[in-house]
Amino acid sequence: MSTEQALLERSESKCELCGATENLQPYPVPPSSDGSADQSVLLCSTCLEQIEEPDKTDPNHWRCLNDSMWSQVPAVQVMAWRMLKRLAAEGWPQDLLDMLYLDEETQAWAEAAGDGADNEEQVVHRDCNGATLEAGDTVTLIKDLNVKGANFTAKRGTAVRGISLVADNPEQIEGRVNGQQIVILTQFVKKSN
């Protein structure tokens, strides 16, 4: 029996992460997969694209991990752990990670780099609409904000140009409002075009 046939049988012809039934293909789980069914997962084209190209990741697509992370298949557990780790800054994936238990061998496999899992250190800042923020972007305040210690209110609609990102906190950015450098929560800004 080929690897693909074994995976189709094991997964009941569904993507082992999201449950989709079309455009399925085997994915050997890096970094040291031997190509066997035990070290591979069956993925749909959507999951595969987002795993291989992290900048195309749609966090809401991965809510499917709420179910698939409970798989008894170590390769599926590894992929679920890696994607939850990559998305941890979203909030809800961290809750799932806190519940997920992997045995020592599977945990070591999950932590082994090879598929962009080393990007876990990268903090992603997103505005209120989920758009990724970069240093130097211009954002607009979507709410009046009382600035503590500066005795003024940053008004809704104010453009904040040339923002900088707070390295260790995905929910905070810094920018200049009324000549003052202030910390702003990302939930209160939207990216300007």
pLDDT of 98-157, one tens digit each?
888 889 888 888 888 654 444 445 678 899 998 889 888 999 999 999 988 878 999 999
CATH code assigned to 125-191: 2.30.30.40
Q: What is the DSSP letter of 155?
A: P
pTM assigned to the model: 0.57
Reported as a single tens digit per residue, the pLDDT across 146-188 is 988 878 999 999 999 999 888 778 899 999 998 888 999 999 9
Q: What is the CA radius of gyration of the chain?
A: 20
Distance CA 164, CA 141 (A): 15
Segment holding 141, helix H or strand E: strand 139-141
Which residue intervals of the chain bear CATH 2.30.30.40?
A: 125-191
CA torsion sign for 49, 117, 59, 65 is: positive
